[in-house]
Chains A and B, each alone.
Chain A
Amino acid sequence: DAGITQSPRYKITETGRQVTLMCHQTWSHSYMFWYRQDLGHGLRLIYYSAAADITDKGEVPDGYVVSRSKTENFPLTLESATRSQTSVYFCASSGSSKETQYFGPGTRLLVL
């Protein structure tokens, strides 16, 4: 589990500000994912990436932007944060689309 890290672990921001959440993995996994976790909704996929420079939308992509210039990093940017984006964000990685997804420790984001 130490092979996938997220930063920051906690973030407080204000409505309208840009926020970037970082995700780094050391396993050279091809796939990386961003989820948000809210009470009553479980985990919802925001974006995923099958390889460097290949990204695609998940279930709830609106308001988020991702990039993947290097295999090991997959940052998630909230271009103009809204209160509805207050959540716990988890990054995950896996070797293929049908292998175990290993989750990072999560980032708790509060948008005031």
Chain B
Amino acid sequence: GENVEQHPSTLSVQEGDSAVIKCTYSDSASNYFPWYKQELGKRPQLIIDIRSNVGEKKDQRIAVTLNKTAKHFSLHITETQPEDSAVYFCAAIADTGGFKTIFGAGTRLFVKA
């Protein structure tokens, strides 16, 4: 079946460094790619998203890039802060010929002060 592979599963960085999380999807019909942040015991919350007609999007310290040819998209967090520590999920959504949303397994990010 369709899937989304997310790497790495765990990432530890020093405060101020950058963090990059990568996802690869298999369904070529996917056309919307959100990223969610989930703190321990809390609900997932959207931090940034990108649509298939855009290659890159930035919001302050967070950016997402999309390579549709390679079926690959990435989350970039610059100048990391301890409050960025959380689990991050990518997702690939296809809404043509039915609706499918597949999440990656998540990346646990630790930002060390």
Contact = CB atoms under 8 A, between A and B. Distances in A.
A58 interface: yes
A99 B93 CA distance: 10
A19 B103 CA distance: 26
Interface in B85-113: 89, 91, 93, 95, 98-106
A100 B105 contact: no
A33 B95 CA distance: 14
Interface stretch (B38-46, B67-75, B76-84): B38-46
Contact of B101 (A1, A33, A40): A33
Most chain B CB within 10 A, of A40, A97, A100, A105, is at: A97
Interface residues of B, number: 25
Nearest to B51: A98
A13 B101 CA distance: 29
Interface in B12-45: 31-32, 34, 42-45
A35 B91 CA distance: 13
Interface of B: 1, 6, 31-32, 34, 42-46, 49, 51, 89, 91, 93, 95, 98-106
